[in-house]
Structure 1
C-alpha cells in the first residue's frame, strides 16, 4: 500500500470510541492516516503483521483465499471498523487480506502502541474481546451455511446482511457499490451461480435491479430462503 500520511485530528475509530479520553492525545501522536484507492490492497494474507488499521472513510473487504483463483469475503468494514486484528497472536502474520472497495482513508496503528492501548484501556480491551466473540460466531455460522444452506439462501442472506450494514439509498437500493463477483465471494458461490440466482430472485419479485444496484422488494420472502437447508451438504 502506498502510504501518504494525512494530517487530521479525527478520532472516530473503534479505538478512539472505547479508549480513555486521557489516551486520545497519545493516539493522535501515534496514528497515521493514509488515502487508499479503489482496489488497493491494504495488507495481504501471509504478510508479517506490523500493526492494525481502522477505516475512517470508504468501504473495505476482508477476505481469504478459497483456492488458487477464488476468494471468500469474510466481512465488509466501514465507519471506523478495525482491520488486521486477526494478526494478533504468536504467528504474527495476517491470516486474511483487505482491499478497498472504494477510495477512502484508513488509519494505521503500529503493534507496539496497539498492545499498549490494550493494557491501558480496559473498556477498549473488553469491547475488542466482544468483537472477537461476535466475529467468531459469524464465521462459524458462515462455515455452517457453506456446508448446509442452498446457494439461493446464501445469496438471500448476503443481501439481507448488506442491507442491514449499509442501509439503503433514497431510491431504496442497498447502499454499496458491489460487483456481482464480490457478491458471489461474499455468498460463497461462483459468479455464474449468483448470476442465475439473482435472475430467479427478480422473477420471484423478491428483489429489483437497476444496473449493479439491488433493492429488497420482499424482505420476508428473502428471510424465508435463509431458513431452508439442503438435503445433503453442498458447496456451489
Structure 2
C-alpha cells in the first residue's frame, strides 16, 4: 500500500454517516488514506491489529484460510464499508485477510482514535453493535449451508447475495466482476464443482455469463434452488 493525498468527503463511510458533526474535523485530522493495487492485501490473517479501515473506492474481498490449500471468502466490501472490525476481539489479531479486487482507496483510523470515536459517538457504537449482530446471524446461516446445502443451492445463494449487495445494471448484470475462483471461494465450492454448476445454470437459462460478468435472468428459479435446499 502507498499513502495517498486524497480528499475524503467525510460523508461516505460507516463512521462518518453516524458520527456527530463536531467529530468530523477530528476524523480529518487522524485519518490516513492509502491506495491499494489490485491483488494487494490491506491486512493479513494473523497480523496484529493497528487500526480500522473504511473503503473509499473499489471492491475488497475478506477471506479466511479454509484449509492448507483453500480460502473461504467471508464477504465483499464496497465504498463506505468497514474492514478490520473482526480484529476488535481481545487478542487484537486480524482473523481474516482483506484483499483488493481492483484499484482501491481505503481510509485508515488508528486503534486509539477509533476507540475514542466509539466512546464519543453513541449512534455509531449502536450501529456497529447491530452490524456485528447481523454478521453473526449471516455467519451462522452460512456455516449451516456449507455443511448441508448442495453446491447448486450455495452458488444460487452467492449470486443472490451479490445482487443484493452490489445491485445490477440495466442489462441485469451484477455490478461486480469476479474471477470464477473467487465465486467458488464465496460459495464454499471446489472450482470444478462451481464450473459445472455455472454451466448448468446457463443451460437452464437462469443466468448468463460473459467473462467475469454474470447476468441473472430468472431470480425466481435461483430463489427456488435456495429454498428447496435450506436447513
Superposed pair shares fold, TM > 0.5: yes
- Say yes or no: does 1:4 pair with 2:3: yes
| Cα separation, 1, equivalents of 2:31 and 2:106 | 10
The corresponding residue for 1:124 is 124
The CA RMSD over aligned residues, in Å, is 1.2
Structure 1 regions of 5+ residues with no counterpart? Answer: none
Q: SS where residue 169 of structure 1 aligns?
A: coil
Deviation readout 1:175-223 (Å, 9 max, x if unpaired): 1110000000000001100000000001111111222211111101000
Q: Is the 8 A contact 2:34 2:107 kept in 1?
A: yes
Shift, 1:172, TM fit: 2.1
- After superposition, residues 148-227 of structure 1 pair within 5 angstroms as 148-227=148-227
The structure 1 segments of at least 4 consecutive aligned residues displaced by more than 4 Å after TM superposition are: none
Number of corresponding residues? 230
The offset of 1:167, in angstroms, is 1.2
TM-score by length of 2: 0.97
Q: What are structure 2's unaligned runs of at least 5 residues?
A: none
- 1:19 matched to 2:45: no
Deviation of residue 112 (structure 1)?
A: 0.2
SS in 2 for 1:92: coil
TM-score norm. by structure 1 comes to 0.95
Q: Using the alignment, how far apart are the partners of 1:89 and 1:42 within structure 2? A: 19
Contact 1:149–1:228 (8 Å) recurs in 2: no
* 8 A Cα contact 1:150 1:228, kept in partner: no
Is 2:100 the counterpart of 1:105?
no
